[in-house]
A and B are shown apart, each in its own frame.
Chain A
Amino acid sequence: MTVDTIAGIPVDVNEEGFLTDASEWNEDIAVDLARREGIDPLTDRHWEVLRFMRAEYEAKGTGPTVRILGKTSGVPVKELYQLFPKGPAKLAAKIAGIPKPRGCI
């Protein structure tokens, strides 16, 4: 575990750069993390996915996979890949400050 300074705030991250404590997350951190991943700016649709990811994580203790996200978030799979080209569930989880979802499908 290392400390990374994101949006000027020191936070604990794992070797892949995911926050290890979801409670350290805030919206400025999301904006900075997104910029690092080449997503700039975060649109309303991005935020919709990010908020959904956090709500799912808080309710279930894990983030949804792309398929579940496409079925339940209100953002279809095709659009998810347009919003987060480098992997919707993985990237959205990272930017939302929650652990990487571990589902295979």
Chain B
Amino acid sequence: MGDTIEKVSIIISKGSLEGIYPGLIMANGARAEGIEANLFFTFFGLDAIHAKRLEHIKVASVGNPGMHMASLIGVLPGMSAIATHMMEKKMEAFDIPGIPEFMELIGDTGAGIYACKASVDLFGFTKDDFIPQVEDIITVGEFYEKAAGGQIIFT
């Protein structure tokens, strides 16, 4: 069975809505296929597992050509919130869960959820700042140990 994927470890390094969702969808989708999955949150990606921040993840309205909007408009106060609101409405219509529900779902699938130690130290967080689904704060070396024998995806 050399042509099947048995295990994936996905790194989420960005803190925007569009930076977080793809990794969550891939991890959840892997588990649904019976593939072992680990999620490793680093740098601004930590917001996705931060108990107080994960409800406030925003779409980037500046420097994001995919928004099809002039950057000058994107800098206006509240633009990011409006763009996020529109995106969330659309996702709700397609029954895509919000990030808090999605993280709970992924925890229930048995995927491993980890925070990067270097980033946690850098931002001055502790394990208590994170949602309960976070199993541990681990070093990059420990991440590679957990990822051994599988594919690694960086997002």
Contact = CB atoms under 8 A, between A and B. Distances in A.
Nearest to B104: A77
A61 B25 CA distance: 24
B33 A90 contact: yes
A48 to B, nearest CB: 18
B96 interface: yes
Contacts of A81: 31, 108-110
Given A89-B32, A91-B34, A105 B96 contact: yes
A70 B110 CA distance: 14
Contact of A70 (B25, B34, B96, B105): B105
A70 B32 contact: no
Interface string B30-56: 011111000000000000000000000
A105 B34 CA distance: 14
A105 B33 CA distance: 11
Interface string A90-105: 1100000000000011
Interface string B93-106: 00111000000010
Given A104-B25, A105-B25, A105-B97, A65 B108 contact: no
Interface of A: 65-68, 70, 76-78, 81, 85-91, 104-105
Interface of B: 25, 28-29, 31-35, 95-97, 105, 108-110
